Chain A
Amino acid sequence: MPTGQDIVDLALKHLKEPYVLGAPVPKDAAGWKGPWDCAEFASWLVYQLAGYLYGCDTDTGNPATADAYSGWWARDATAKGRAVGLTVAINTPGAFLIRKPAPGMIGHVALSAGDGTTVEAYSSRMGVIAGKTSGRRWDLGVLVPGFDYATAAALDTAYEAPGLVLRLMIPPMRGALVERVQKALIDQGYSPGEPDGVYGPHTAAAVAAFQAAKGLLADGEVGVNTRKKLGVN
C-alpha cells in the first residue's frame, strides 16, 4: 500500500511547474508536467499512486478526462472518508487540506507535508509551490483511503489561524473593512458594485478577478495577501 509520504515525495518532484486555473489534467498521464490546477494536481497524485479517482466528477469514468474540483474533494471527504480535523491533517504527511468553494467561487486543495508545510498548485504567478499551512483558512483535512498514513503521535506541529478573512457568507459580512476593499477595487478598475460595506457576490467576483490579474489564488476571499495587494489596511 502506498504511504502518505509517497504522495509528498511525488508532489515535490513537481515544484515550480506551471499553474492554470481549471486546467484539465489526465490523471493517467504519469509524465505530466503541468499546467496544473490545485484540485487536478491533488487528484492526479492520488491516481498515480493508488490507481483510483478521488475528488473528481466521476469515480468510474475515464481517468484521462475526469474533472477534479475542490467541491468534489469536500464531497468525497464525507462520502468516502476520511475527513479529519486540521490538527491531524497538519501533522500527517500526505493528508490533504481543503477550503470549500463558496457558491460561484473556487476553493482550494493543498497537500500537507506533515511538518507545517504544503505542496500545492497555487497560482498562475507562482505555479506549484511549497507553502505553509499557517496563516491560511482551511475547512477540513482529509486522509485519502488506500494510503498508509503516519500521523505524528504528539500532534505538535504549530498552526496559526489567519485572522479576519473577508469572504462570502450567509448572512453576508458587513463593515468598514468591506467598504475599504470595495473602494480599493473600484480605484483599480474592478466592479464590486456600490461600496456599501456588504461582502456580496459582486464583491467576491471582483476580488477573484483582481486576484487572478495579480497572479494570486483567485478564491474571492480577502486575507492578508490580497489586502496587501489592494493597499487596504
Chain B
Amino acid sequence: MSEISDAIQTALQSALNAAKPTTPVARNFVTSFLKGRAVAFVDIAEGLASGDIDEGTARYLLVQEGLLLTAEAEAVAGLSKVALQAAADAFLKSLTDSIKALLKIAL
C-alpha cells in the first residue's frame, strides 16, 4: 500500500513541524521512535484491508498505539525537558486520518 507509505511521510513531517524548534532530541524522537512505530500502523492498516484482522481489532490496536505514543512522548519529555506531545499528537492525527480515509473506516 504505497498510499500508507505516503501517509507516513506526511505524518512524520507534521510531527517535525509541530516539534519546532527542532532540537536533536525532538528530531530523534520523530525520525527514530515515531518512524519506528509507523511499522505497527502499516501492519494494522494492511491487516484490516486484507481481512487478516477485523475492524474492531484494528480500532483497538490503533487506540493502543495512540496511548503508547502519548506515554512515550511524556516519558521522553520528562527526561529531556523537551516538549514532544504536540509532535506525537500531530503524527497520530495525520496518520489515523489517512488510514480512515484510505480504508473508509470509522476509528
- Listed in ascending order, the chain A residues whose CB lies under 8 Å from chain B are 84-88, 134, 151, 153-164, 169, 171, 173-178
Contacts and interface: CB of A to CB of B under 8 A. Distances in A.
A176 B75 CA distance: 36
Contacts of B36: 134, 158-161
B76 A87 contact: yes
Interface of B: 24-25, 28-29, 32-33, 36-40, 42-44, 47, 50-54, 56-57, 60-61, 71-72, 74-76, 79-80
A177 B75 contact: no
Contacts of A162: 39-40
Given A86-B72, A177-B52, A164 B28 contact: no
A164 B53 contact: yes
Contacts of B25: 153-155
Contact of A155 (B32, B53, B60): B32
Contact of A175 (B29, B57, B79): B57
Given A134-B36, A156-B28, A159-B32, A175 B76 contact: no
Nearest to B71: A85
Given A155-B25, A156-B28, A177-B53, A164 B75 contact: no
Contacts of A151: 79
Given A155-B80, A164-B53, A177-B52, 11 more contacts: A85-B71, A86-B33, A87-B32, A155-B28, A155-B76, A158-B32, A158-B36, A159-B32, A164-B43, A169-B60, A173-B53
A85 B57 contact: no
A85 B75 contact: yes
Contact of B56 (A157, A174, A176): A174
25 contacts: A84-B75, A84-B79, A85-B71, A85-B76, A86-B33, A86-B72, A87-B33, A88-B79, A153-B25, A155-B28, A156-B24, A157-B32, A158-B36, A160-B36, A161-B38, A162-B39, A163-B42, A163-B43, A164-B44, A164-B52, A164-B61, A169-B60, A174-B56, A175-B52, A175-B53
A159 B57 contact: no
